Homo-oligomer: A and B are copies of this chain.
Amino acid sequence: MLVTIKDIAKAAGVSHTTVSRALRGHPAISTETTRHIQQLAEQMGYVPSAVAQSLNSRQTFTIGMVVTTIADPFVPLVAEGIEKVAQEAGYSVFLMTSYNDPEREMTVVETLQRRRVDAIIVTASRVGSLYGEQLERIQVPIVLINNQENGEFLHSIAVDDVQGAKLATEHLLALGHRRIGYVGLLTRPKSNAHRLLGYQAALQKADIPQDPNLIFLPPPDDDFRCGELALSLHLKHQATAILCYNDITAIGLLNTCQQNQIAVPQALSIIGFDDIEAAQYVSPPLTTFRQPRLQMGELAMQMILDLLNKKSVEDQLLPGELIIRGSTVQIYPEQ
C-alpha cells in the first residue's frame, strides 16, 4: 500500500492536518516540525495523490488533447509543443483520438467530461465543430488548432491559409508560370476554401485569367491518391505548375510523375503545404509552405494557461513560411 499523510502523521505523532501543512510549507507550522515531517515524508517515499488533491481542489491539472489520429504527419509536432508547455506548467495531457468516427467522438467528449479535464485542445478534427454544444456544456476553456468550421464561442489558433496559398502561387508566378493548377481536398472544407482563395487572389493580382479546368477537387479519398489523380491537370490541361492542398497530396503527385516519366521540376513544378518531415526527403525535395507546428502547439497550450488564469486571449492567425526547395523551377521559355 502507498504512503499517505496519515501514515506520516502516525509516524511523527501529529495530526494529518499538520503533515499536510508542513509539506506545503504553511507558516503556522514550526520550522522544526516542518523539517522533521518533510524528512520523514522523504524517507517513507511519500508521493501525494493527485487524485485526492483533484477531488478536493476541483482542479485536475489535466488537459485533453483531441486529435483525429496521432499518425497524421501534421499532428505529432503539434502534440510535442502542447505536451512540453503543459509539462512545464505542471499539467498532464490525455491523448484522445477520434478518427472522425461519430461514435468515438461521442466517447471522447464524454470521457473528457468524466475525467474533469481543466481544458481541451482540439487539433485538426471535426470534434470542435460538430460537438460544439456538448463541448460548451463542459464549461472548460477550449482551443482549436487548424480546425474546420470554428464555432464563435471557441478560441482558435490557425495558420494563415489564404496568405500561404497566395505566397506559394506568387512564387510560381515569379518563376514565369502562367498555367498553374490547384488540387484541393473536400475533406477539409474550410482550409481548402481559404487556400483556394489565396491561389485565386494571387492570380487575379497578376492579371492572369482564371481557368476553371485548372482547379481540381477530386472526390473524397486518401490524400495521397488525390495527388495521383491531379496529374490530369498537367496532361489534359497543360498546367506547368501545381499547388497541392498538402504535402501528402504533393508527394502523391510527385510519385505519379516519376512513374509516368514526367520530370519534376523540369516539366512540372510542384508545391506542397505543411512542410511535413517527408517533404525534405523526397526527390526532388519539395517546395512547400511551412506551418509552424511546434509553435502552434506551444501557443495553444499557452493560450489555455492564460484562459485558466482568467487572462484575456486573442485568436491567432499565424504567418507560416514558404520553403523553397527543388520541386519548383523557372519555367523553360520554349514551353
A interface list, Cβ under 8 A from B? 2, 45, 47-52, 54-55, 60, 65, 69-71, 73, 75-77, 79-80, 83-84, 87, 92-97, 104, 107, 110-111, 113-116, 137, 139, 251, 255, 258, 277-278, 281-283
Contacts and interface: CB of A to CB of B under 8 A. Distances in A.
A133 to B, nearest CB: 11
B282 A116 contact: no
Given A80-B69, A281-B281, A93 B92 contact: no
A114 B107 CA distance: 26
A94 B117 CA distance: 12
B95 A65 contact: yes
8 contacts: A2-B139, A51-B51, A70-B70, A79-B95, A83-B95, A251-B281, A278-B282, A282-B283
A94 to B, nearest CB: 5
Please provide the 8 A-B residue pairs with the shortest distance between their CB atoms, ordered closest to farther: A278-B278, A95-B95, A50-B114, A47-B113, A51-B54, A70-B76, A71-B76, A50-B115
Contacts of A75: 76
Given A76-B75, A278-B277, A281-B251, A83 B110 contact: no
Contacts of A77: 71
B114 A47 contact: yes
Contacts of A258: 283
A116 B83 contact: no
Contacts of A84: 97
Contacts of A283: 258, 282-283
B79 A104 contact: no
Chief secondary structure at chain A's binding surface: helix
Contacts of A69: 80
B104 A96 contact: no
Contacts of A60: 51
A251 B111 CA distance: 41
A70 B52 CA distance: 30
Contact of A70 (B51, B80, B282): B80
Contacts of A115: 50-51, 92
A255 B258 CA distance: 17
A104 B277 CA distance: 25
A253 B329 CA distance: 25
A48 to B, nearest CB: 6
Contacts of A49: 55, 114, 116
Nearest to A75: B76
Given A97-B87, A255-B281, A116 B45 contact: no
Given A277-B278, A278-B281, 12 more contacts: A49-B114, A49-B116, A51-B55, A70-B83, A80-B97, A83-B96, A84-B97, A95-B95, A251-B281, A258-B283, A278-B278, A283-B283
A41 to B, nearest CB: 13
